[in-house]
Structure 1
């Protein structure tokens, strides 16, 4: 077994959380940090914002996981894309920046996770971002992560905001500020027309530090232990087996899919799962791989009668060349937009205290959700998902082979609250489209179609067409007690020298896209690790 030296801290996974964590740790020149990433160092298309469409199935940039078919989603195999590059999913995602609502983090604290209330995490969000549009009590400038409003403008967006006015939905200048509710311009991790991933924000400035070693194409195969203390990581790189040792801590940051897999491969998890695959139980933990949540994303599609408003008819033929030249010259246009340039954080019932669904406005229609090919006719897509889903799934190994993909079971729509909210969400976005301001632009509803109006029909449409919104969380839940995996300082219960810092530790879903919260977790983990390493033994 080849040896890869000795470090103070090893971070496994250079995704959104891991990149922030490694960068912040190495601000202390006394800490020697190894950052391992199973994927490639980069991909030439990644800097282009619209690359999320091209990299959705790319085998070198994407893990291309697949869910196990389930009755609740019409026994379909649902693709589960996750980033396979330095920067993780922030290097291939749709670039939408959402912190969530204060109630999300206050709930975490209420579950017994001290230090994770909104009051606790707000300073971390402020520290990490450079908000292009100014500073106030909620936002700040000068942090490593650049955030700005989407550049794209369209009469469709204006009409939807007017429709919101008619339905009593507020306009909101900053949904990451005092209130989330409203139809809003998307905030996005783009700067000067280029993707501002966690790799760009955190690792690019840190690469010259002598105390940081970044190793890509390094697939972690198991954690190494001396008794109950984690002392290192074994990984495979270019066909060679390598061991790296950590004198102080190992932090797993491989995400909600791969983190429970690595723990189970190392003998940490549910004994019945481990024994099934011939893995000796090192540390029984029933919570590993459980508590999976994700957003199930449903849609309504309209055909437009006004040409030129949809990218479907703006990037055909010579238009495709024009959009490419436009991007090269101005860093604007189709290639510079996030996945949804306009969002809505909406209440399906007026008596709710805060929004319960998120709407995404796409100025185009795609034929295939994962091949990302466009329809030949002009159209608009509105999607929505329930912000805080209740349905719980699981992720567990299917094999002792570290390169075999795990068994992903979302269990979508199993909770009646989720079914009710998703149906009501589709009804609400349909009411927005039919409120009047969009009448000059809309020709007809195409899918599910104007004849599908009853609850059963809408639910059936969701079961047959909705996909994940790419936000898996919770599979190594932060919680006290036997069902928790990490404590409120992200230390794995019952083991020494091992922490987890990624979306897998989220006890519940944050209200929106999860990339911002994942980076916050990496930032907060670095802060806690440095505090603990300075504390007397």
Structure 2
């Protein structure tokens, strides 16, 4: 939408990126009717039907309508493989194509950020209000179970009445129930809340859905603000670079409707283009490692070595087990009758497989007894396939994917040229440390230990992939490189840190070091990846940043 009463090239704030952080920021900053806000999104509106049907992620990932279609560089840790690297390209960003899992991580993540930045505002205790500020948790609904929603432990940890809806999943599978029992038999406790600061345990993931529909950030934060005359949302706008005057950012240069134009920001430009897009835009604007910029003929506006460094991601290893005497989605969805029943159930009840997130059952545990905290996350599914977007296997099977929550490997995002249309080179450097390779091997062994428990014996599980012939540390680490895949959690490429941190791109209030009038507000600012899925932390970051941006504007008068 474009408001005719707002000058088309001048705003108070320009937010670059209409994804998870950008939608929340646009909502918060435009609450003041005197503040003119422009939200820029390279993709189209989120009116593509498969965005809103939960299982539609299968049709959104790898689809140019909704995905940037990035690929990683050939990776030595993956034995030379490249991976598809989905990033949302539509209003709502990755919240329009992700797994919908609501997961904050662990309290120690945020206390670690506070220590790394020297700013206690990032501690778990001081971040909890920012999580709760936009939550609308189903267990706090009127009439919620008094054993859960009514107790003070739960209400102290969660919010209600906010824009971001959190619900339980609308399906059950016997094979998942048995896996949860097997995990308990293997020593993993049950958990009724993965978001209390300590997520160790096994239980069902909670999801960002409303009544069986995906709840993305466009619906949550832009819809309530759509009639505000001071908010403009421009889609299909490709930002080429930032407009800089000396050491100050004054706006952005973009392509819109076939026309190149500059749009000015009176107060601030806020980059929320994600851990891939934000460092790319900074580098194209002459803000980044001087040597890289010169190599591509870009004038160095500010030498900031950390831009595009410190890329961290969660790498999952998918173990597939054939089963007997069990209903799985493989068998149900591979028949015309089964597909018809799946569609009918969703049409009538908004439940069943079409309401599924990619992963239903979760578990957080330790790879070995030396770990002080849960350092592994399981995503367990009553299905199997070679990769998301590929056909389901024809045999009855389930998948137990496991990832190292705290990888020590780090990679880079670097421009390939001075052209904004050229995708950057994404090099995660997975499994590049001995610790990550050891944990990969240990995690495969732990999956086997859980599956060998009595609770799953009735299904006669047989390891199909990777296969029991792989046993040694060396074999298992190499195997991880052969079969592991990203779980789509890139962070850290514009990390925040202290002034003496050579790789810090932003300060603890997310202002870009050395460039006035510019912040980065997205997952790229994380110094360390969170111990879980990354969408909820990104919204917390945006909530906190919005408060600072508004407070700074008031101070300036």
User: Normalising by the residue count of structure 2, what TM-score does the alignment of the two structures yield?
Assistant: 0.94
What is the match of residue 98 of structure 2? 93
What is the match of residue 171 of structure 1? 190
- Greater CA deviation, 148-157 or 8-17? 148-157
Note if contact 2:107-2:198 (Cα within 8 Å) is conserved in structure 1.
Answer: no
User: Of 119, 125, 144, which residue of structure 2 is paired with 1:119?
Assistant: 125
User: Of 233, 248, 251, which residue of structure 2 is paired with 1:214?
Assistant: 233
What is the match of residue 88 of structure 2? 83
1:16 matched to 2:29? The reply is no
The Cα shift of 1:415 comes to 1.4
- Greater CA deviation, 122-131 or 434-443? 434-443
1:456-496 deviations in Å (ceiling 9; x for gaps): 22112110111111000000000123321000111000111
1:420 matched to 2:438? The reply is yes
The Cα shift of 1:315 comes to 1.3
The SS at the match of 1:7 is strand
What is the match of residue 199 of structure 2? 180
CA distance in 2, matches of 1:30, 1:511: 39
User: Of 536, 541, 553, which residue of structure 2 is paired with 1:521?
Assistant: 541
1:260-285 deviations in Å (ceiling 9; x for gaps): 00001100000111111110001110
1:452 matched to 2:470? The reply is yes
CA distance in 2, matches of 1:55, 1:178: 32
1:203 matched to 2:222? The reply is yes
CA distance in 2, matches of 1:245, 1:93: 32
User: Of 416, 419, 423, which residue of structure 2 is paired with 1:398?
Assistant: 416
The Cα shift of 1:440 comes to 1.1
Note if contact 1:57-1:370 (Cα within 8 Å) is conserved in structure 2.
Answer: no
CA distance in 1, matches of 2:58, 2:480: 22
What is the match of residue 328 of structure 2? 310
CA distance in 1, matches of 2:460, 2:128: 41
CA distance in 2, matches of 1:187, 1:88: 20
1:273 matched to 2:292? The reply is yes
User: Of 262, 271, 277, which residue of structure 2 is paired with 1:258?
Assistant: 277
What is the match of residue 521 of structure 2? 501
What is the match of residue 41 of structure 1? 45
1:152-191 deviations in Å (ceiling 9; x for gaps): 2111222122212222211010010253110111111011
CA distance in 2, matches of 1:371, 1:82: 14
Task: Note the residue ranges of structure 1 that are not aligned, 5 or more in a row.
Answer: none
The structure carrying a bigger helix percent of its residues is 2
CA distance in 1, matches of 2:302, 2:349: 55
- Greater CA deviation, 312-321 or 397-406? 312-321
Note if contact 1:302-1:442 (Cα within 8 Å) is conserved in structure 2.
Answer: no
1:120-140 deviations in Å (ceiling 9; x for gaps): 111000111111013521112
User: Normalising by the residue count of structure 1, what TM-score does the alignment of the two structures yield?
Assistant: 0.97
CA distance in 2, matches of 1:231, 1:125: 31
CA distance in 2, matches of 1:344, 1:411: 26
User: Of 99, 107, 121, which residue of structure 2 is paired with 1:102?
Assistant: 107
Aligned residues: 533
What is the match of residue 26 of structure 1? 30
User: Of 363, 367, 377, which residue of structure 2 is paired with 1:348?
Assistant: 367
Note if contact 1:4-1:245 (Cα within 8 Å) is conserved in structure 2.
Answer: no
User: Of 101, 120, 133, which residue of structure 1 is paired with 2:139?
Assistant: 133
Task: Note the residue ranges of structure 2 that are not aligned, 5 or more in a row.
Answer: 1-6, 141-153
Note if contact 2:117-2:496 (Cα within 8 Å) is conserved in structure 1.
Answer: no
- Kindly report structure 1 stretches of 4+ aligned residues shifted beyond 6 Å: none
